[in-house]
Amino acid sequence: MTDSTFLPFTRPDIDAATIAAVGEVLASGWITSGPRMQAFEAQLSALFGGRPVRAFANGTSTMEVALRVARLGPGDEVITTALTWVATANVIGAVGARPVFVDVDPVTRNISLEAVEAAITPRTRAIIPVYLAGLPVDMDRLYSIAGQHSLRVIEDAAQAIDSRWRGSRIGAIGDLVSFSFHANKNINSVEGGCLVLNTEDEALRAERLRLQGVIRTGPDGMEVEEPGGKFNLSDVHAAVGLGQLARLESITRRRAELAGLYFDAAARAGLAGLGVGLPPPADPTGALTNWHMFQVELPVDRIAGGRAAVMQALRARGIGSGVHYPALHLFKFYRAQGWREGMLPHTERLGRSLLTLPLFPAMTDADPARVVSALIAVIGELS
């Protein structure tokens, strides 16, 4: 096996025009936040129906600032899922609030809205749904629950750029919506993110919070009314984001094509007959995913060595894979807060068994069948 034959689970694709644009920024003498960042924000705002948008250094800072814009703090509870990157929960603690984890729906793998309703207490102030692999939750029901209980919704849409709900793009609807432009996302700015807000007042507060809380007036006036962070996006990163955003439509289309090829290959090869669970298919009448990831559920209890053994065996065949995500409530930090095995059974099962297969636009049409064939062979060897 050579490096040229290895198929990673994802690979960023930066075109020549974007590389040239980065060079122009570096040569301009203005490389931190400036005109490119402002242009990126303007194009993102247009994508989300004209809503206010602010760009950030990463998709974690967007979440922390969203919580602060919503005025969450000590004594408040935020309901969320434990089947997510740990940042989703960490930012809740960072503002002094308490994360309340609920189980996921075993079919969609997203937060169970039934469990959300059951977990609401007088201290609940917000819900953070996470759109795993780009698949939105039932937005109508989510916002009905939030409205009935006067809760803010902070959508962790890190993986959901260009996903839809009943034809509306995620971010063009909803409350506070956070996206990530990390290198492994559908479009990236190497590192970065953006926050979609409701009003210009919210946007101005988010803008202050991303740069130390500083308010500037005139040529030399400066004031700080509340402390912020150092979360601004540079023009270098924004140049990459602008180049990626211009290709969003073709990227989304290609990912859907590859997902379709995975489903076709799995059906022909009888993958489900081996006890492998496939992701929920796209549903154009409701939640339409952007196919950020193609995740299968392995029958880990029947596989010697479990998921790790499958990953190692696939790698030996030239195929990369990923884990998204372990059940975060079982990390030591959250165990210390009282979370234990058995409290979120669907989350814990999926956290042990989900395997992310390669999916990125530069893959060939033959690659999904190659991956499925290798996976079947590996499961057969290890079962």
Gap between the Cα atoms of 289 and 281, Å rounded? 9
C-alpha 129 chain-centroid distance: 11
CA distances 34 to 10, 28, 31, 180, Å, are 30, 11, 8, 20
Gap between the Cα atoms of 145 and 129, Å rounded? 12
- Spot the catalytic one: 109, 125, 185, 292: 185
53-56 β-sheet, strand order: 53-56, 193-196, 176-180, 152-156, 124-128, 77-81, 98-102
Contact 310/379 with Cβ under 8 angstroms? yes
Gap between the Cα atoms of 77 and 81, Å rounded? 13
Tokens of 215: 């308010």
Contact 240/185 with Cβ under 8 angstroms? no
> Is 185 one of the catalytic residues?
yes
Gap between the Cα atoms of 256 and 281, Å rounded? 10
Question: CA nearest 110: which of 162, 159, 174?
Answer: 159
- Catalytic residue positions, numbered: 185
